Amino acid sequence: MLSKEELIRYNRQIILPDFGIEGQEKLKNSSVLVIGAGGLGAPNLLYLTAAGVGRIGIIDFDEVNLSNLHRQVLFDSNEIGEQKANAASRRLTQLNTEVDIEVFNEPITSANALETIGKFDLVVDGSDNLPTRYLVNDACYFLKKTLIYGAIFRFEGQVSVFNYRGGPNYRDVFPTPPPPDMVPSCSEGGVLGVLPGIIGSMQCNEAIKVITGIGTPLSGKLLLFDALDMSTRTLNIKSSEDNPLSGSNPTVKELIDYETFCAGVDKPDLATKEISVVDLKELMSKKTIHILDVREDYEYDIANIGGQLIPLNQVVERQSEIPRDREVVVMCKAGGRSQSAIDILENEGFDNLINLKGGILAWQKEIDSTLEVY
């Protein structure tokens, strides 16, 4: 039953053909879990709250930082350093006091995914890494929960609805993770600030359609969007017999250690030599360490720990500047580009390269919190 205030608040939705009071009551009685309060999560959370979803869960254990603010519109400069989930909850409650907000200040893992997701009717994936995407997809499949998928990179985005009434799931499109060097994160490859707002709003639209029963959800379809020319393409997706989760001979029968499963996607290959920031700091206190920084010039100007700057796209032509007679620690922002640089240089005959695990982000977290990280 909608209150008088709710009838006024949601009037513009209620008067829509095929929506009405029934659609609004479906929203009020529904619950949605949003994975991530970042670029995709922000518009989803804002519009789901404004639309009148009765209960919304937020999973995010990260803190607000300055580099978030060009795209994560839930936050402002005064909230830098605050837990994202807490800041988001406060903002959403101010937007709509009729909505119950539940905060999870912890990562979603194979240990808690089934229990957490099981509390909600629908899941919106706003994560930014492959281990989480596979984990959430598989948990939704086991629990028979619909998953609203979105992904962004640079100027392009994707949206789909997975596991809707037994329809295709994420593994029907991406059965297993691609090679690590083919999947740079937004922190490594960049993203146009407005793009998460566009894709996140599309996700929210799909969530509202699924909850209320209006329209046709993007189940069995993958929508591709290009912000540079405003083009869209829609690819058809079919359930595959070879799907390792839901195919005729499934090999994935429980949630697994997805960080290992996706090894190298968001961190260096564990088979490659690497060094932690703590160990590097200790070595630097004892002797001179040659550090090769493969970020861009402007990134180096924002934050650096010294060392030789050669951007990734210049390492081959400038390889003569890199020592071969001693160990070289290669670093970037989070560990992805530095691993790519090592792979490239090893093909050129280098055998003395060590990856700095976690890059300058890990350095800032473990060693020097005064660094201004972007």
Contacts of 26 (CB under 8 A, 6+ apart): 211, 212, 213
Residue 172 one-letter amino acid: D
Closest CA to 171 of 203, 130, 199, 211: 130
Q: What is the DSSP string of 207-253?
A: HHHHHHT-S---BTEEEEEETTTTEEEEEE----TT-TTTSSS-S--
How far, in Å, CA of 125 to CA of 165, rounded?
Answer: 18
pLDDT tens-digit readout, 227-263: 999 999 999 999 999 899 999 998 898 997 676 555 5
All structural domains of the chain: 4-263 (3.40.50.720), 273-366 (3.40.250.10)
Q: What is the pLDDT of residue 174?
A: 87
pLDDT tens-digit readout, 98-146: 999 999 999 999 999 999 999 999 999 999 888 899 999 999 999 999 9
How far, in Å, CA of 25 to CA of 42, rounded?
Answer: 24
Q: What is the pTM of this model?
A: 0.75
pLDDT tens-digit readout, 257-284: 676 555 544 333 334 589 999 999 888 8
User: What tokens does 260 get?
Assistant: 């290992």
Average pLDDT, the chain: 90
Arithmetic mean of pLDDT, 23-47: 97
**H/E element, 42:** helix 41-51
Arithmetic mean of pLDDT, 198-211: 98
Q: Is the pLDDT of residue 22 over 90?
A: yes
Least confident of 55-69, 185-199, 236-250, 282-296: 185-199
Query: At residue 363, what are phi and psi to the nearest 5 degrees?
Result: -60, -45
Closest CA to 281 of 368, 220, 203, 342: 368
Closest CA to 306 of 293, 324, 318, 319: 293
Q: Which residues of 36-65 are buried (b: 16+ CB within 10 A; e: fewer)?
A: bbbbbbbbbbbbbbbbbbbbbbbbbeeebb
Q: Give 85's strand partners.
A: none
Q: What is the pLDDT of residue 270?
A: 35
Write out the catalytic residue numbers.
Answer: 186, 332
Q: What is the pLDDT of residue 188?
A: 59
pLDDT tens-digit readout, 330-341: 999 988 899 989
Q: What is the pLDDT of residue 265?
A: 41
